[in-house]
Copies of this chain bind each other. A is one copy, B any other.
Amino acid sequence: MILRDPVHGLVAFEGDEERLALALLDTREVQRLRRVRQLGLTSLVFPGAEHSRFAHAVGAAHVMSRLKARLAHVMDELPIDQRLDAQRGRDAFAAALLHDLGHGPFSHLFEEVVPDARPHEEWTVTVLLDPSTDVHRALRGFDPEMPARVADLITGRHELPWLASTISSVLDVDRCDYLLRDSHMTGVRYGIYDLDWLLRALTFGEITTTEGERRTVLAIEGRKGLPPIEGFFLARHFMYQQVYHHKATRAAESLVRAVLKRIRTVVREGTRAITSLPIALRRAALGDVPSLEDYLELDDAVLSSALASCEKDDDQVLADLARRFRNRVLPKTVPLPDGPECEPLWHEAHARAKEIATAHGLDPELHVWLDVADDVPYSDDTPDAGLWVVLRHHAPQRLGDMSFALEKLRNQRIVRPRLCFAPELRDAIVAAIEPTLARVR
A residues at B contact (CB < 8 Å): 2-7, 9-10, 12, 26-28, 31, 34-35, 43-44, 46-48, 50-52, 54-55, 58, 134, 184-190, 192, 194, 196-197, 200, 223, 226-227, 230-231, 234, 237-238, 241-242, 276, 297, 300-302, 304-305, 308, 326-329, 335, 394, 404-405, 408-409, 412, 414, 441
Contacts and interface: CB of A to CB of B under 8 A. Distances in A.
Contacts of A58: 47
Nearest to A12: B200
A326 B28 contact: yes
A116 to B, nearest CB: 27
A161 to B, nearest CB: 28
Nearest to A237: B405
Contacts of A48: 4-7, 51, 55
A47 B26 CA distance: 12
Given A50-B51, A276-B276, 20 more contacts: A4-B46, A4-B188, A5-B187, A6-B185, A6-B186, A7-B187, A9-B187, A10-B196, A47-B54, A47-B58, A50-B50, A134-B327, A189-B194, A190-B194, A223-B335, A227-B238, A234-B405, A302-B308, A305-B305, A404-B412
- The residue in A48, A189, A335 that gathers the most chain B C-beta atoms within 10 A of its C-beta is A48
A186 to B, nearest CB: 6
A50 B52 contact: yes
Given A47-B54, A414-B404, A35 B304 contact: yes
Nearest to A305: B305
Contacts of A12: 200
Contact of A302 (B28, B305, B408): B305
List the 6 closest A-B pairs by CB distance, nearest first: A408-B408, A4-B187, A301-B301, A6-B48, A10-B196, A6-B187
A277 to B, nearest CB: 12
